[in-house]
Amino acid sequence: MSILATGIIYFKDTLSDAMYDDISYFIGEAANKNRIGINMSYNLSDYAMSKYKTNGGFVAEKSTMIYELTESPWWSQSENLFAPVIYNDKGEGVGIDLSRSRLPGVQKFFSDILDNDNVSEILFSLREGNPAPDEFEKCKIHVGEFCETISDAYKKTKTVGEAKTTPNITVGICR
pLDDT at 163: 63
Is the pTM above the cut of 0.85? yes
> What is the CATH class of 3-174?
alpha beta
Q: Where are the domains of the chain?
A: 3-174
**In the predicted model, is pLDDT for residue 169 greater than 70?**
yes
Work out the angle at residue 92's Cα, subtended by the Cα atoms of residues 87 and 93, and round it to the nearest 5 degrees.
Answer: 55
pLDDT at 106: 97
The DSSP result for the chain, as a single string, is --EEEEEEEEESSPPPHHHHHHHHHHHHHHHHHTT-EEEEGGGS-HHHHGGG-BTTB----TTEEEEEEESBTTB---GGGG-PEEE-TTSBEEEE-TTS-SHHHHHHHHHHHHTSTTEEEEEEEEEESSSPPS--EEEEEEGGGHHHHHHHHHTT-BEETTEE----EEEEEE-
Binning pLDDT at 50, 70 and 90, where does residue 1 land?
very low
Q: What is the pLDDT of residues 11-43, one digit of tens each?
A: 999 999 999 999 999 999 999 999 999 999 989
